[in-house]
A and B are shown apart, each in its own frame.
Chain A
């Protein structure tokens, strides 16, 4: 094979690869972000969740400036019991020897682990029965959606997020700046970008309508 043929083959392969992604990836990403940021629970349920969390934090003297998830887990006496690759869901809350234990799935990153712990705490605050799980994927039960909402509210308290958005003029900045602010929040709250983007949407909605 001579060099000209080699270079022609490289160019054709690269063009095919780029065309392939143009056809498929663009819509996949658009649909992914739309589905991930969609409100899974109604406005009234969001308000109820916020007030339930606020009451819980007040009753237990938990300050939102500290590590809310760890403090809530301590109050609820929930411990991380270990990591397992045999569980089907991302996390499972069970009772072992009268202790509430969260088992996490192998391979979760720090952000996912924190969210799973917050999710299991949220189940208890919502008064859901134990054992509970944190399933992955679409079309989850309403119980899971409510727990997800409360978990995000625990990681990123409404007041703090609202203050941050106002301080940085979030609504009026460019798309690039918004993405940078989201990255900043991801680091600050140890959350994934999807969780942060959802929370921003929820807090904006709550502030506009209440």
Chain B
């Protein structure tokens, strides 16, 4: 029983230190709130609006319509891949790079799915859709939204620490 409690205590400690490492060191926006907000607008809100609008207007009967809809999604995902590559940090074993790798991987999945739909529509003249693949885009953006919210918390905590001048008793 005691051994079990030790193991679970150790696991909790490991999870806590993993979260701390992620929160403190691996922020893809490096604590820059403005950068995070611009990312939110240009790589999250706009692509989601464009994707949603394209999918709403989509009719499976028109192959060109399907191809053009998935081209817009493809361009959005390629934009995100480009942005993630530019954020890459040339540091071995960096938490930030691990997150960026997951984001790039998920975006590549979306891009490949879009390419498959486009080529099948244009070459085989068939529609092969499975939009569950688009959820990869959402999961990738979850990482970005966690880091964006972290930027705000970091800003607040920094202001608080500055006002207390580091005095823990205040």
A residues neighboring B (CB under 8 Å): 1, 3, 6-7, 9-10, 13-14, 16-18, 20-22, 24-26, 28-30, 32-34, 37-38, 85, 106-107, 175-176, 178-179, 182, 193, 197-198, 200-201, 204
Given contacts A6-B131, A179-B159, contact A201 B149 (CB under 8 A): no
- Name the prevailing secondary structure of the B interface residues: helix
> Do B52 and A38 have beta carbons less than 8 Å apart?
no
Q: Is the CB of A25 within 8 A of B165?
A: no
B154 to chain A, nearest CB (A): 5
Residues from chain A with a CB closer than 8 A to the CB of B56 are 3
Chain A residues lying within 8 Å of B55, measured Cβ to Cβ, are 3, 6
Interface size on B, residues (CB 8 A): 39
Contact, CB under 8 Å: A21 / B158: no
Chain A contacts for B163, CB-based, 8 A: 175, 178
Kindly state whether residue B135 has any CB partner on chain A within 8 Å.
yes
Check B128 for interface membership: any CB of A closer than 8 A: no
Our pick among A7, A34, A176, A179 for the contact of B166 (Cβ within 8 Å) is: A34
Q: How many A-B residue pairs have CB under 8 A?
A: 110
- A204 B157 Cβ-Cβ under 8 A: no
State the CA gap A179–B132 with chains docked (Å). 44
Nearest-neighbour CB distance to chain A for B93, whole angstroms, equals: 9
By the criterion CB–CB under 8 Å, are B160 and A30 in contact?
yes
Identify the closest chain B residue to A204 (Cβ): B165
Please name all residues of chain A whose beta carbon is closer than 8 Å to the beta carbon of B168 when the two chains form the complex. Answer: 34, 38
Chain B positions within 8 Å of A3 at CB level: 52, 55-56
- By a CB distance below 8 angstroms, the chain A residues around B24 are 28-29, 32
| B146 CB-CB contact with A under 8 Å | yes
- Give B152 Cβ to nearest chain A Cβ, in Å: 9
Distance A178 CA – B134 CA, assembled complex (angstroms): 44
- With A3-B55, A200-B165 as contacts: A85 and B146 at CB distance below 8 Å: no
Pairs across A and B, CB under 8 Å, 7 listed: A3-B52, A13-B141, A17-B146, A18-B146, A21-B153, A28-B19, A106-B91
Q: Are B166 and A33 in contact (CB under 8 A)?
A: yes
B145 touches A29 (CB 8 A): no
**Min CB gap A181→B, angstroms:** 9
Report the Cα distance A131→B55, complex, angstroms: 65
